[in-house]
Structure 1
Amino acid sequence: MTRSAPWTRDTVTAALLADTARTWFDEALTDAARAAQAPPTTPSPYLAHTWELRFAAAGRHCGNDNADAVRTLLLIEARAGLETLTRLYRHGSAAERRPVLRALPALVAGPHAVHLVEDALRSNDTRLIAAAVGPYAAAHLDPHAWRHAVLKCLFTGVPLDAVAGLAHRAAGDDELARMLTDFAAERTAAGRDLPDDLGRLLTLTGEEPKEL
């Protein structure tokens, strides 16, 4: 399964080839839905909802190729709040952090989870960075942080197709154009190749690429 979102229950079920995996996934979603309807409980480091245990075990039961999708849907089905999302992110592996980032648009209405996006952008894990620059970042990162997120993609080789809302946010952004021109000059001076996406991104800002 591709890393693209959004996923649905049906598309994920179709991707799970083994009957045992499909049964496990169905039971996991049921656990998550049950937790969403349960009265709030006091968080404890010693207790976890059943769906959270399944969240951690998704790769083992559904395969690593499907784990991002399974975990993202579990978070959404459980209606995980910001406190839960933050805890799962802080204590999770990179494979568990990606679904938290992908679920943010569905679960957090305002900019309250920007700190998770910013943390992911400080890493050099390209899959984590790609998850961080999705729709939530497009909606809530301030211009300065968003520009640096785009540059981080160029630095690390993350395809700009991963950046949600790229054309809209880059349009007419003179400061981004300046940063990209400086970036290109530095790379050229160092004898390094320029990213294939750079010319396209400059064009989106309204700047005409000059012999990149």
Structure 2
Amino acid sequence: MSFGFAPRKIGKADLQLTERDLNDAAEARQGWKPNTWTLDQAARVLLLMSLPAEDDAAYFATVEKLFQTAEIREQICLYQALQLLPHQELFDDRLSEGIRTNIKTVFESIAHHNPLPMELMTEHAWNQMILKALFIGAALDPIEGIDQRVNPELARMLIDFAHERRAATRPIPVELWRVAAPFADEIALEDMKALYASGEQLEQSAIALALVATASDEADVILKTNPEIAKRAESGEITWHAIAEAAY
């Protein structure tokens, strides 16, 4: 009952957090970034954290019941709260189920600024989350572990996806190259070379940044075809955060 009434009691205003508050949050829980949280969300998380947790099965059942009856705003709160709750390992299936949602804000509550997907998801579930993010237009940069969990299978799927879209003259999400480039094959390098030569500036910047990170001979050859953008990528002037901000 208290969980549902939180917005009425204390409102939905954004939390006014200082830089010190955010640093304290990061120290308390690696990857925790409550800068987008609201008052009612913080209150609900506090209620969840105050539940008796000695019996892991009972605790899981209580939280799972809340998920099953939650409206959208409550779902967002619950998914963002999981990173702070006890018995987090019990919620791996809940995360995998959650990323199937077609509601972008709910998806982003799982994928963005949340260390649990990086820590708990299987490679298959992780790859599905990255693909879903690209399909629904959710940024990759706020995903914790986006670079640490790159893998050949994910890169293969993204390379195929990018090649098909280029062949159909359809736009390719610029952040895709961040994840695909570490395992770029001949097809991917040809696509990147063509887009680096004739694509829009944001696309060229993303490809340059991705190629710089690969540090391969093939990447160096492509980068030399546009040395000005390559220099900006190498110097750190171009960042994935800035690319994501411009793309979305």
Alpha-carbon offset, residue 79 of structure 1: 5.5
Letter in 2 for 1:155: F
Q: For residue 138 of structure 1, what is the aligned residue in structure 2? A: 118
Instruction: Tell which structure's C-alpha radius of gyration is larger.
Output: 2
Identity %: 31
Q: For residue 62 of structure 1, what is the aligned residue in structure 2? A: 11
Distance 1:114 1:68, change over 3 A: same
Alpha-carbon offset, residue 90 of structure 1: 0.7
For 1:1-212, what aligned pairs fall within 5 Å after superposition? 53-60=1-8, 61-63=10-12, 65=14, 66=38, 67-78=40-51, 81-133=59-111, 134-170=114-150, 173-203=151-181, 205-207=182-184, 210=189, 211=192, 212=195
Alpha-carbon offset, residue 148 of structure 1: 0.8
8 A Cα contact 1:55 1:74, kept in partner? yes
Q: Which runs of 5+ in 1 are unaligned?
A: 1-52
Q: Secondary structure at 1:165's aligned position in 2?
A: coil
8 A Cα contact 1:130 1:162, kept in partner? no
Q: 2: CA distance between counterparts of 1:94 and 1:166?
A: 26
Q: For residue 205 of structure 2, what is the aligned residue in structure 1? A: none
Q: 1: CA distance between counterparts of 2:168 and 2:7?
A: 42
Between stretches 130-139 and 103-112, larger displacement belongs to 103-112
- How many pairs align? 157
Q: TM-score, normalised by structure 1?
A: 0.65
Alpha-carbon offset, residue 193 of structure 1: 1.4
Q: 2: CA distance between counterparts of 1:184 and 1:196?
A: 10
CA-atom RMSD, angstroms? Answer: 2.2
Distance 1:165 1:77, change over 3 A: farther
8 A Cα contact 2:110 2:117, kept in partner? yes
Q: 1: CA distance between counterparts of 2:120 and 2:71?
A: 24
Q: 2: CA distance between counterparts of 1:164 and 1:188?
A: 28
Q: 2: CA distance between counterparts of 1:161 and 1:69?
A: 24
Q: TM-score, normalised by structure 2?
A: 0.57
Alpha-carbon offset, residue 78 of structure 1: 3.3
